[in-house]
């Protein structure tokens, strides 16, 4: 059954305690699925399945509170180093998600964009992702970027290579030109990057785009990252003063 996500009014948003400028773009490092499963004596794949539900809830809530773009870190270039069984379980879950949930995303006007190097993925997975992107490309609601086989350093290298292949000279290599060749081109940089499960690092996520992002770390393990936990992170962001190098 397709759920239509609610859109909260300004009063409803204020009633959640969210008073301040809403982040336009939220980055989300979904971490702690393994620890969540371990605590319950479950296999790590059960943690990833529970994490998938939390990701769906985060998409819905982002839409409800009026976030314009959500970028989730689903699989890093380093995650290939995990046991093959875990890699297989993660991709099986991702393919199930993109197969089953694309109708719901589309019905909610969500535009889904995969960021990362799709070249290394199995042809079937790649086809599924490309179909999902193509199908939602004209949607005008939430932009939902899913980072799969994504690495921030690899993304920058890829952008510079594209510039060189396009015949760029040294003076053409500018910040704007590099930004325009990243996977997130034409999107604003994330205002806030949230990481769950207590770890305080970027793990190669959006390195370029994070230049002026606020970081919010929560101890909540990703499968437990519910609307309350998400709201608390946004509240923390709203309490920050962003200076961008200026004296205020
Ligand atoms: C999810 O959490 C992150 C992914 C790579 C999908 P983890 O699998 O990293 O969980 P922990 O960090 O081992 O608890
Ligand atoms: C970062 O989490 C990658 C994703 C969330 C997909 P990891 O669990 O892989 O990061 P590290 O290894 O703890 O830095
Ligand atoms: Mg982890």
Asked if the model's pLDDT at residue 235 lies above 90, the reply is: yes
pTM for the full model?
0.97
Mean pLDDT of 200-213: 98
Pocket test for ligand 1, best of 28, 34, 91 (most atoms within 8 A of CB): 34
pLDDT at 88: 98
The number of the ligand nearest the C-alpha atom of 47 reads 1
Asked if the model's pLDDT at residue 1 lies above 90, the reply is: no
30 lines ligand 2 (CB under 6 A): yes
Report all structural domains of the chain as residue ranges with CATH numbers, in order of start.
29-237 (3.40.1180.10)
At 45-88, the pLDDT tens digits run 999 999 999 999 999 999 999 999 999 999 999 999 999 999 99
204 lines ligand 2 (CB under 6 A): no
191 pLDDT band, cuts 50/70/90, is very high
pLDDT at 136: 98
Average pLDDT over all residues of the chain: 97
44 pLDDT band, cuts 50/70/90, is very high
Atom of ligand 1 nearest to the CA of 75: 5
Is the CB of residue 148 less than 8 Å from the CB of residue 94?
A: yes
The number of the ligand nearest the C-alpha atom of 72 reads 2
What does the alpha-carbon distance between residue 44 and residue 50 come to, in Å, rounded to a whole number? 10
Three-state secondary structure readout of 150-209: ECHHHHHHHHHHHHHHCCCCHHHCCHHHHHHCCCCCCCCCCCEEEECCCCCCCCCCCCCH
pLDDT at 87: 98
pLDDT at 22: 98
Atom of ligand 1 nearest to the CA of 90: 6
């Amino acid at each position: 059954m397709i759920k239509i996500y609610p859109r909260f009014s300004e009063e409803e948003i204020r009633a959640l305690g969210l008073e301040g400028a809403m982040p336009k773009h939220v980055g989300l490092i979904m971490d702690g699925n393994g620890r969540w499963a371990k605590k319950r004596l479950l296999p790590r794949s059960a943690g990833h399945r529970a994490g998938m539900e939390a990701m769906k809830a985060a998409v819905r809530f982002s839409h409800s509170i009026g976030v314009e773009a959500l970028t989730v870190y689903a699989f890093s270039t380093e995650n290939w180093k995990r046991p093959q069984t875990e890699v297989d379980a993660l991709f099986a879950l991702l393919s199930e998600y993109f197969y089953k949930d694309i109708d719901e995303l589309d019905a909610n006007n969500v535009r889904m964009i995969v960021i990362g190097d799709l070249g290394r993925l199995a042809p079937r997975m790649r086809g599924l992702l490309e179909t999902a992107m193509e199908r939602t490309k004209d949607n005008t609601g939430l932009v939902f970027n899913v980072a799969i086989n994504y690495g921030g350093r690899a993304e920058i290298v890829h952008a510079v290579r594209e510039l060189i292949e396009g015949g760029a000279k040294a003076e053409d290599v500018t910040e704007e030109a590099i930004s325009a060749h990243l996977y997130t081109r034409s999107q604003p940089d994330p205002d806030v990057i949230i990481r769950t499960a207590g770890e305080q690092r970027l793990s190669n996520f959006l390195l370029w785009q994070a230049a002026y992002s606020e970081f919010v770390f929560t101890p909540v393990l990703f499968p437990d990252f519910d609307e309350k936990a998400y709201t608390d992170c946004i509240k923390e962001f709203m309490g920050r003063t962003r200076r961008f190098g200026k004296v205020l």
